[in-house]
């Protein structure tokens, strides 16, 4: 059976991360994605050979561009040329989706805005990936992941205790979330087109996506007039909703909200039976009141054994809610990650055996596939123009000579 988006063609005029990841997600589900890039330089993401101290792979493949552009075809165009824009119009007539993430006004000035492309194909889904949304005083401002984390408030949520300096979360979190929302918007618009026969414009932004990610935090502020309190680990009001360091330096995480339900079995499992009826800790209210004392006791207790032993003790001791605290380094070998193919093996044609992030949504009949390499700059230009758009080889020579491709 075909992948769910087989037969859907996407024109990807995006750069960096937010837009490219959205179209890569569509490609994972079977969409044909044609990436339009600037002649000679291409997507500036191709030029990032190290980020956060991480270098390119041994054979010079740029991991940043590779991760964001798997499965795609690369078409190089000089969009300042009218003939190049005509190529985009012809592509739009034969495509289902157009995605762009340039600053407000850029697409319209080049004649590549929604009105321009929908005039050629009224049923096209035209998706905009922006920093701050299509409306408002900052709608035309540029944005990167750092700006999105700052503007959305998540850098303050990540800082503990309240009032400490904001913390930036590495890895393009806002870009990834913006990409997810953009892909969600495109998929929804495709369903709407299937049902109602209409194309439409889709907008997703860094800011809107990060607010959605923090929906519960924001709702508390809008409904109750205050933020969630942010506490240090030793000040956890519920010590059974906390993380603890074990004797080997590894951490485990407890996630028990209904503490009265677990308290007796928990104390027995940890070998601290004397605390079951201790008046300081024998009820949820008492544990909350004396939470600092209890955290200190649990710190000393968990520090007596390595994590693997505590995991076995908790497994056998009751119906507890707990897990390991992983690092990113741990994820490729985590058995739960492997079993669900959240990270998968991939034989890359240039770098050989590697692993890539899998498709997080598991479809039983039409699963996606994350295994696919990113294209070389302009790799598919001639094939797209001749096979898809009907240009002759003489046309190709003329377009190349005149700097259109």
Give just the sign of the alpha carbon dihedral 388, 391, 396, 402: negative
pLDDT of residue 1: 82
Which superfamily is assigned to 233-329 in CATH?
Answer: formyl-coa transferase, domain 3 (3.30.1540.10)
Max Cα–Cα distance, the chain, nearest Å: 89
What kind and span of H or E run contains 106?
Answer: helix 106-109
The segment(s) of the chain belonging to CATH 3.40.50.10540 are 9-216+340-401
Cα distances from 98 to residues 20, 182, 257, 290, in angstroms, run 12, 12, 45, 57
Model confidence pLDDT, tens digit, residues 130-169 = 999 999 999 999 999 999 999 999 999 999 887 889 999 9
Share of the chain above pLDDT 90, in %: 92
Model confidence pLDDT, tens digit, residues 343-368 = 999 999 998 999 999 999 999 999 99
pLDDT of residue 118: 98
Structure tokens at 344: 């998968």
Model confidence pLDDT, tens digit, residues 201-260 = 999 999 999 999 999 999 999 999 998 888 899 999 999 999 999 999 999 999 999 999
The set of residues, in sequence order, having a beta carbon less than 8 Å from that of 43 and lying 6+ positions away, is: 14, 15, 16, 20, 35, 37, 65, 69
- The C-alpha atoms of residue 9 and residue 336 are separated, in whole angstroms, by 34
The segment(s) of the chain belonging to CATH 3.30.1540.10 are 233-329
DSSP-assigned beta bridge partners for residue 346: 354
Report the top-level CATH class of 9-216+340-401: alpha beta
Q: For the whole model, what pTM was predicted?
A: 0.94
Cis-peptide into 161, omega within 30 deg:
yes
Confidence of residue 97 (pLDDT cuts 50, 70, 90): very high
Does the pLDDT at position 96 exceed 80?
A: yes
Model confidence pLDDT, tens digit, residues 16-70 = 999 999 999 999 999 999 999 999 999 999 988 666 565 666 677 889 999 999 9
37 phi, psi to nearest 5 deg:
-130, 155
Are the beta carbons of 101 and 128 closer than 8 angstroms? Answer: yes
| Residue 165: burial class (beta carbons within 10 Å; 0-12, 13-18, 19+) | exposed
- The C-alpha atoms of residue 214 and residue 194 are separated, in whole angstroms, by 31
Mean pLDDT of the chain: 95
CA-CA-CA-CA dihedral for 385, 388, 389, 392, to nearest 10 = 60
- The C-alpha atoms of residue 161 and residue 151 are separated, in whole angstroms, by 19
The set of residues, in sequence order, having a beta carbon less than 8 Å from that of 333 and lying 6+ positions away, is: none
3-state secondary structure of 285: helix
Measure the N-to-C terminal CA separation of the chain; round to a whole number of Å: 36
pLDDT of residue 51: 62
Does the pLDDT at position 72 exceed 90?
A: yes
């Amino acid at each position: 059976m075909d992948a769910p988006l087989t037969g859907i063609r996407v024109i990807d005029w995006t750069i960096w991360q937010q837009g490219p990841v959205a179209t890569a997600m569509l490609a994972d589900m079977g969409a044909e994605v044609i990436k339009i890039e600037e002649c000679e330089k291409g997507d500036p993401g191709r030029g990032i050979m190290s980020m956060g101290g991480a270098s390119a792979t041994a054979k010079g493949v740029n991991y940043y561009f590779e991760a964001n552009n798997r499965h795609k075809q690369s078409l190089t165009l000089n969009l300042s040329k009218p003939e190049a824009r005509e190529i985009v119009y012809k592509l739009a007539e034969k495509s289902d989706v157009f995605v762009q993430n340039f600053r407000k006004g850029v697409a319209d000035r080049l004649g590549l805005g929604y009105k321009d492309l929908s005039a050629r194909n009224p049923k096209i889904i035209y998706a905009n990936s922006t920093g701050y949304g299509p409306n408002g005083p900052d709608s035309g401002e540029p944005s990167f992941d750092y700006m999105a984390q700052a503007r959305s408030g998540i850098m303050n949520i990540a800082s503990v205790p309240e009032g400490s300096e904001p913390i930036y979360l590495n890895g393009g979190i806002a870009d990834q979330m913006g990409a997810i929302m953009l892909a969600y918007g495109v998929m929804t618009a495709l369903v709407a087109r299937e049902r109602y026969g209409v194309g439409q414009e889709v907008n997703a932004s860094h800011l809107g996506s990060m607010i959605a990610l923090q929906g519960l935090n924001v709702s508390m502020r809008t409904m109750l007039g205050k933020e969630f309190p942010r506490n240090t680990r030793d000040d956890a009001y519920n010590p059974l909703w906390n993380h603890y360091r074990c004797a080997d330096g590894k951490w485990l995480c407890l996630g028990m909200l209904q503490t009265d339900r677990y308290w007796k079995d928990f104390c027995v499992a940890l070998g601290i039976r004397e605390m079951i009826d201790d008046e300081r800790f024998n009820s949820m209210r008492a544990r909350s009141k004396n939470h600092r004392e209890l955290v200190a006791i649990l710190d000393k207790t968990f520090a007596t054994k390595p994590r693997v032993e505590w995991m076995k003790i908790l497994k056998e001791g009751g119906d507890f809610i707990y897990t390991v605290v992983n690092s990113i380094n741990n994820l490729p070998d985590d058995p739960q990650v492997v079993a669900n193919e959240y990270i998968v093996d991939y034989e890359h044609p240039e770098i050989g055996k590697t692993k890539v992030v899998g498709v997080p949504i598991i479809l039983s009949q039409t699963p996606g596939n994350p295994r696919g390499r990113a294209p070389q700059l302009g790799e598919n230009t001639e094939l797209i123009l001749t096979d898809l758009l009907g240009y002759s080889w003489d046309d190709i020579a003329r377009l190349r000579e005149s700097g259109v491709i």
